[in-house]
Structure 1
Amino acid sequence: MSVKIVNVATENPNFSRETKDVLPFLDVWLAGQDERFQRKVKKIFEGANVDKRYSIMDPEEVFSIHSFETRNAIYAREMIILGEKVLTKALQKANWKPETLDYIITVSCTGIMIPSLDAYLINSLKLKQDIVRLPVTEMGCVGGVSGIIYAKNFLKANPNKRAAVITVESPTATFQLDDFSMANIVSAAIFGDGAACVLLSSYPEDEGPKIIDESMYHFYDKEHMMGFELTNQGLKMILDIEVPDTIEAHFPAILIPFLERNKLEIKDIDHLIFHPGGKKIVNLVEGLFSEFGKNIDDTKEVLRLFGNMSSATVLYVLERIMNNDVPKGERGLMLSFGPGFTAQRVLLEF
């Protein structure tokens, strides 16, 4: 019995801006700051390789709302809307009825909702009353892959079942107006909002790439490198400059043993489905893979068109690859990094 990814759907919020149209808002935000600092911030935005990003809020709201209560209320309202849209889109794409789902996993780290999103989706789509719920929070950018791993383990233990993993994220809701740190600036330059849904199945007749293996890799003593600090103003970004160097140092340990236990090497991977955390990490991974004749063009394109949408982003990359006619037997490797510090991997066979 194998677990398959049946399809992926994505959904974007109503508001969007090209990076060039965000720059005037920086002038207002940075007013009173040193001119050299202002130029540096603009260069970070212009050089982030993000041409456009979406948001649940109009830019005027992003650059004016100070209250965590107000921002989180907008987050909760809009995540319910996005979650319902993206789950409905995925179900229609698969020609599944909502009541055929057995597991629902919702993923988000950019706001606080109790009850969690899955409770609202059960009511709005009339899912099964005995559907198994699992809200995944506090996992950051790795949460989309985490959700797939949890769903796969549910389904592997339960034949003839179906699961949905729904990721909804609004990093713009965490933007701190009074924080002029590099972590806040860099995150504002690379992040955007978005939602994605992955449908998985352990029914023999449902088709899609098989999940061959999955694994998590946890870095010791690196909790300080990435995450959020909960302040009176909201979720304050923590993003250490050590992240790219730490990934590079651990990269062989992250990939080689995982591939070896599946009797594979990097050269045997046809599609690297990599989370576009930002330009530096993308360039680093691209350099490590280029020597094997591999590319991460889909990862770079998702970063350019949408920015980093935290847990949803790698699923946008997966959707692009699955929308192509991938030859049977080719392999894909999903890879994301997140707070903890952690790396998580899923091996697929198309």
Structure 2
Amino acid sequence: MCVKITSVAKQLPKYTRKTSEIIPFIKHWMQDQDTRYQRKVIKLFENAGVDKRYSIMDAEEVFMNTTFEEKNNIYTREVTKIAEQALLKSLAKAQLQPTDIDYIITVSCTGIMIPSLDAYLINSLQMKQDIVRLPVTEMGCAAGVSGIIYAKNFLKENPNKRAVVIAVESPTATFQLDDFSMTNIVSAAIFGDGAASVILSSYENEKGPKIIDESMYHFYDATYMMGFKLVNTGLQMILDKEVPQKISDHFPKIVFPFLERNNLKIDDVDHLVFHPGGKKIVQTVEDLFGVLGKNIDDTKEVLRLYGNMSSATVLYVLERFMDRNPAEGEIGLMLSFGPGFSAQQILLEW
């Protein structure tokens, strides 16, 4: 059974600020910290490779002493809106109606909703009453790829069906006002909010790149490297400085065997759809792919324009390739890393 990606659409929240406009807020927030540390933090923001980012709340709200409950209420209200807008855009691109979807997967790790987001979308858009639901909550940055893998596995067993994967994140809602650690600061410097929606189909006559193969690679003894810790003030970021080196060390075991089992080499890959985890991770992967004659220019551009939006970000990169209509037969490799620690990848053929 051939499963294709038929459309991808993004949706940004209503608030946006350039990094230069956020720095005054950072200076005020850090006014009681060591002067040298303040300079280090400002330099980090200026050199993070993110020109601006979008948010479900304005900067003043982010730096208010709001409780976990208050921020999560904003998360629940606002991500529902942008998720619905992203879904409607992807349906319009594919010339479909909400009732044409048979399987809905929603992914997010930056807030807590029970019922999950998909339930709200089913109600607001009057989707099928027998639609199959799957909320994915704890896969972090890798969940955009994970969701596509789960949708593909459903569709390959069910001909003439369609699935949608909706990734929506607000790392802004996890900012810790009383945490002046470098982890919290790096998170604030590289992350932004956003949503994206991907429609997949097992109809033979529908167009789009087909999913040739998928893979998950799990790193042993690396659960400490990335994720969130639930504290009284919300979700506190965990981001170990070893992540770029760990990716570099494992890269040959992740990419090359995956391509080899599909009788491909890196030279055969035309498009690298890589998740922009942050400047250091992007530089690491760029160095690895660069010596192989490949570039990740679209990954860098998405990071610059929007920041890292966790699970949704790789879908922003995918949309750029989809909108260019690559030539028939061209090969794409999607790759994301997330908590666990894990790498998740998909092989596409246009």
How does the TM-score come out when normalised to structure 1? 0.99
In the alignment, which residue of structure 1 is the partner of 2:247?
Answer: 247
In the alignment, which residue of structure 2 is the partner of 1:346?
Answer: 346
In the alignment, which residue of structure 2 is the partner of 1:82?
Answer: 82
Aligned-partner residue type, residue 97 of structure 2:
K
For the residues of structure 2 that align with 1:321 and 1:100, how far apart are their CA atoms? Answer: 25
What do the CA deviations read for 1:115-174 (whole angstroms, capped 9, x no partner)? Answer: 000000001111000000000001100000000000000000101100000000000000
In the alignment, which residue of structure 1 is the partner of 2:156?
Answer: 156
In the alignment, which residue of structure 2 is the partner of 1:274?
Answer: 274
For the residues of structure 1 that align with 2:187 and 2:265, how far apart are their CA atoms? Answer: 34
Task: Report SS of the residue matched to 1:236.
Answer: strand
What's the RMSD between the two structures over aligned residues?
A: 0.6
Matched, 1:304 2:308: no
In the alignment, which residue of structure 2 is the partner of 1:210?
Answer: 210
Task: Report SS of the residue matched to 1:251.
Answer: helix
Aligned-partner residue type, residue 260 of structure 1:
E
For the residues of structure 1 that align with 2:126 and 2:325, how far apart are their CA atoms? Answer: 33
Is contact 1:65-1:71 (8 Å) kept? no
For the residues of structure 1 that align with 2:84 and 2:296, how far apart are their CA atoms? Answer: 30
In the alignment, which residue of structure 2 is the partner of 1:71?
Answer: 71
In the alignment, which residue of structure 2 is the partner of 1:230?
Answer: 230
How does the TM-score come out when normalised to structure 2? 0.99
Shift of 1:267: 1.1
Is contact 1:108-1:140 (8 Å) kept? yes
For the residues of structure 2 that align with 1:132 and 1:332, how far apart are their CA atoms? Answer: 28
Matched, 1:145 2:113: no
Matched, 1:29 2:44: no
Aligned residues: 350
Shift of 1:292: 2.2
For the residues of structure 2 that align with 1:192 and 1:226, how far apart are their CA atoms? Answer: 17
Aligned-partner residue type, residue 127 of structure 1:
M
What do the CA deviations read for 1:267-301 (whole angstroms, capped 9, x no partner)? Answer: 11110100000001101111111122211010000
Is contact 1:145-1:344 (8 Å) kept? yes
Q: How does 1:1-350 map to 2 (within 5 A)?
A: 1-350=1-350
Q: Which runs of 5+ in 2 are unaligned?
A: none
Q: Which runs of 5+ in 1 are unaligned?
A: none
For the residues of structure 2 that align with 1:20 and 1:345, how far apart are their CA atoms? Answer: 35
For the residues of structure 1 that align with 2:321 and 2:203, how far apart are their CA atoms? Answer: 23
For the residues of structure 2 that align with 1:230 and 1:66, how far apart are their CA atoms? Answer: 16
What do the CA deviations read for 1:216-261 (whole angstroms, capped 9, x no partner)? Answer: 0000010000000000000000000110010000000001111100
Shift of 1:66: 3.0
Task: Report SS of the residue matched to 2:295.
Answer: coil
- State the identity as a percent: 70
For the residues of structure 1 that align with 2:153 and 2:100, how far apart are their CA atoms? Answer: 18
Does 292-301 or 309-318 show the bigger shift?
292-301
Shift of 1:92: 1.0
What do the CA deviations read for 1:57-97 (whole angstroms, capped 9, x no partner)? Answer: 01000011330000000000001101111101111111101
For the residues of structure 2 that align with 1:41 and 1:97, how far apart are their CA atoms? Answer: 47
Shift of 1:193: 0.1
Is contact 1:66-1:176 (8 Å) kept? no
Shift of 1:31: 1.2
Aligned-partner residue type, residue 151 of structure 2:
A
